[in-house]
Structure 1
Amino acid sequence: MAGPDRMTIEEVVQKVLRDEHADVIRESVRAVAAELMEAEVSQLNGAELGERRPEDRATQRNGYRPRRWDTRAGEIELQIPKLRQGSYFPGFLQPRKRSEQALVSVVQQAYVCGVSTRRVDQLVESLGLRISKSEVSRIAGLLDEQVSAFRERPLEGRCPYVFVDAKIEKVRDGGRVARKCVVIAHAVHETGRREIIGLDVGAAETEAFWTESLRGLVARGLVGVQPAISDAHPGLKAAIARVLGTPWQRCTVHFLRDLRGHARRDQHDALGAVIRSIFTAETGEQARQRVRDAVSQLERRIPKVAALLEDAEPDVLAFYASPAEQWPKLRSTNPLERFNREIGRRTDVVGIFPDDASVIRLVSMLAIEANDEWLVGRSYISQKSMSTLMTPRPEEKPPITEEKEVELLAA
C-alpha cells in the first residue's frame, strides 16, 4: 500500500500522461479495443478473421460500421464488426459499465510500468469475455509492437542535420538501481521538417555505446548527414567520425557553460559576452578572428578558458560551413531542449523505472507525439534553404583540367 507521501500507480500514470499527451494513449486504446472486438466476434461466429471453418461457423462477418466513442483519453472512432446473421455490440460500450475506465487505465499503466498479461486478463474478465491465454498475450504485446515499429522504421530521404543528446535516468537492473543513458537522435530532413529518428538506452556513455547507436541509425537508412550536432559526450565525437564520417558541431550553449565552470562567478557575464560575440559573427573568417582576439584577451585573466577555447575552435565553428540563414539553428542542441524537458517532466514523476523497456516505452510515446506535431507544423528550416544543400557549391565543383579547357575552347 502506498504511504501518505507516495503515489499509487494510478496516480503516477495520471500525472505522467497528462491531457496534452493523450494522442498516443487514445490511439493505443483504439487499437486494443479493436483487438478485443475481433476476439469477441471470433468467439460468436466460431472462427478467426480470415479462417476457413465452414463446419464450425455460427455466422459470418459482414464488414464494419463506424461508431464514435467518448473516453477519458478523448473521442475515438471505432470500426465495429458486423455479422450476416444476428447482431453484435461490444460489451465495453454497454451503458453503466466501468470497462472503458479499465481499458484506458490498462493502456496508461502499460506505457509507464510495462505490459502485463495479468492486467489484460483482468480487463478481459471485466468485459465478460472468455478468450484464450494466447489471445490475451497477443493483446498485451500490441503496445510494445507499436513502440518497436516506431523505433525500427526505415528512414527515408536524406537527413543533412542530426542532433544527438543524452539524458541520465534511474533504472532497476539486476537488483540494483543504475544510472543509465537515454540517447535521443533528432534530425532535420531534406524537406526541412524535424523528426526524432532514434532512441536507445545504454549502461554508460562510451565510444562503443555511441558507435552501436549510430550504426543502428545507418542500418535503418540514415544518409546525407553533413554536420552532427551534440554536446561533448565522451566517445561521441570519435563515433561520429567513424560511423558517419561527417564534421562535428559542438553545442555552443553547453560549451559556454563548460567555460564558465573554469571562471569565477563575477567573471561569468563578461565571459559570456565575449564568447557569444564569436557565434554571432557575420562570416566564418570573422568568427575565427574573434576567437584569436578572445584567446589573447583571456590568456592573462583566465588561461584555462583561453586554452579550452583555442582547442575547441574548429568544433564550435563548424556551423559556419552551412548556409548563413541556418546558422542560429545549427550551433546548439536547443531543438532538443524542449523535448528533453518534456521527458524530464514525465520521468521525474516515475522516479525509478522498473527496466530499460519501460524507459523506451515512455520516451517513444512522447517521440511519436512530437513527430506528429512537427509533421503538421511549420518546417524547422525552409525547403528553399535546404535545397541549397542538395546542389554543389561553387567551390565544390570539380576543377576543369587542361584537356577539358581545350575541348571547351574548341567548342
Structure 2
Amino acid sequence: MPKHILQVNQPMFETQLDRMVSEKVTEILNRMLDAEADEITGAARYERSCGRKAYRAGHYERDLTVKAGKLSVRVPKLKGALFESAVIERYRRREESVEEALIDMYLAGVSTRRVDDISQALWGARMPSQTLSDKLRKVYGDIDAWRERPLSQPYPYVFMDGVWHKRSWGGAVENVSILVAIGIGSDGHREVIGVAEGMKEDSASWNSFVSSLISRGLTGVRLVTGDRCAGLVNTVRELLPQAGSQGCMVRFMRTVRSKVSPRHNRWAGDALKAVFAMESRESALAKAEQV
C-alpha cells in the first residue's frame, strides 16, 4: 500500500460519476450521429443498397462545450449529401434531462422509462431504427454490467457512506438517499465499487448493501471508513469481522470543532485541514505537532 495519504470522500464519488456519465453521453451521441447519417444516405455503413443517396467519407472530431464540460464527438462526413445533425442541438437544449436519466441508471439500474426519456430527448418523436436500438442497448447494458461487475481484486480500504442526490422526476425535484462504497486497491487506485439507491442508513440497508458487495467478490478488507452510525458499524462487525472501522475526516472535524470554544473554532478547523492536507503519515504527524 502506498505511504502517501489518500483522500476518499463524497466529491470524489461525484467526480467519478460525472466522468462516467460524460463518457456515456459521448457514446450515445456518436451512435445517434451514425444513425442520422444512415437516414440521410439511405443505407447503413458498408450496406449495398439501390436506394443509397450518398456515401460515407469518414468522420471528423467536433468538440462540444456544454454545462458538464467539454465533449468530443465523431461527426460523420458524407459524399453526395450535406450532413446536418438535429441530435446535437437537441442535446444542447436537453442536456440536464439526459444526464439526469443516465445518473439514475448508474444509481438504480437501467429502466425502460429512462431509456425512453433519453430517446425522446435526443431522437424526437420518431422511432429509432432497429440498428440504433441495438447499439443503444449495448450502451445501456454496459451500465448494468458496471453495477454488477465482479470485484476481482482485494480492497484493503473501503469508504462507505450515505449521500443525498437531488433527482428531477416529472418536473419535481426530490432528495434520494444513496449508499456508496469506494474501494482502494493495494496499488492505491480508488474506484466506486458499489451504489444502491433509495435505502436508509439503518442496519437492514447496510447489511443488504454490504452483502451484495461480498456476493460480487469483495475480499481483503482491513479497514472501513465512513459514518460511525450503528447500522454500518454493526454490519462491518457481522459481515467483515476481519476489518476495523473508523469515522470519516469530515465527521471527525465536526466532532472536534463541537468541543472547541466559538472563539477558537475557526482556528481548530484550519489546523485540522492543514494536518489532513499532508501527503504522508510522517508529514501529517509532524504538522500535528506544529499546530
Q: TM (normalized to structure 2)?
A: 0.60
Q: Identify the match of residue 151 of structure 1 among 147, 152, 164.
A: 147
The number of equivalent residue pairs is 243
Query: Which consecutive unaligned segments of at least 5 residues does structure 2 have?
Result: 1-16, 103-113, 286-291
Report the CA distance shift for 1:63/1:50 in structure 2 as closer, same or farther (over 3 A). closer
Which residue identity does 1:201 align to in structure 2?
E
Paired residues for 1:4-15 under 5 Å = none
Provide the C-alpha distance between the structure 2 equivalents of 1:122 and 1:59, rounded to a whole number of angstroms. Answer: 28
Q: Return the structure number with greater strand share.
A: 2
Contact conserved, 1:32 with 1:142, CA < 8 A, in 2? no
Q: Deviations over 1:51-98 (max 9, x none)?
A: 8xx7x664599887230213224362416377xxx6465321xxxxx7
Contact conserved, 1:37 with 1:81, CA < 8 A, in 2? no
Q: Percent identity at matched positions?
A: 20
Provide the C-alpha distance between the structure 1 equivalents of 2:181 and 2:229, rounded to a whole number of angstroms. Answer: 14
Partner of 2:189: 193
Mapped pair 1:124 → 2:117: no
Which residue identity does 2:94 align to in structure 1?
V
Paired residues for 1:10-25 under 5 Å = none
Q: Return the structure number with greater helix share.
A: 1
Partner of 1:100: 88
Mapped pair 1:203 → 2:203: no
Q: Deviations over 1:251-295 (max 9, x none)?
A: 26425644765x6847987xx8xxx9xx99xxxxxxxxxxxxxxx
Mapped pair 1:230 → 2:204: no
Partner of 1:347: none
Provide the C-alpha distance between the structure 1 equivalents of 2:253 and 2:61, rounded to a whole number of angstroms. Answer: 53
Q: Identify the match of residue 217 of structure 2 among 221, 228, 232.
A: 221
Provide the C-alpha distance between the structure 2 equivalents of 1:78 and 1:172, rounded to a whole number of angstroms. Answer: 30
Q: Identify the match of residue 161 of structure 1 among 154, 157, 163.
A: 157
Paired residues for 1:333-344 under 5 Å = none
Between structure 1 and structure 2, the one with the greater Rg is 1
Q: Identify the match of residue 110 of structure 1 among 68, 76, 98.
A: 98
Paired residues for 1:8-407 under 5 Å = 27-43=23-39, 58=51, 65-73=58-66, 74=70, 76-78=72-74, 80=76, 87=80, 90-92=83-85, 100-112=88-100, 115=114, 117=116, 120-121=119-120, 123-124=122-123, 131-132=127-128, 145=141, 147-169=143-165, 180-251=176-247, 253=249, 254-255=251-252, 257-258=254-255, 265=261, 325=281
Contact conserved, 2:54 with 2:80, CA < 8 A, in 1? no
Please state how far the C-alpha of 1:197 moved relative to its aligned partner. 1.8
Which residue identity does 1:104 align to in structure 2?
R
Please state how far the C-alpha of 1:108 moved relative to its aligned partner. 3.2
Please state how far the C-alpha of 1:209 moved relative to its aligned partner. 0.7
RMSD of aligned Cα (Å): 4.8
Provide the C-alpha distance between the structure 2 equivalents of 1:79 and 1:265, rounded to a whole number of angstroms. Answer: 61
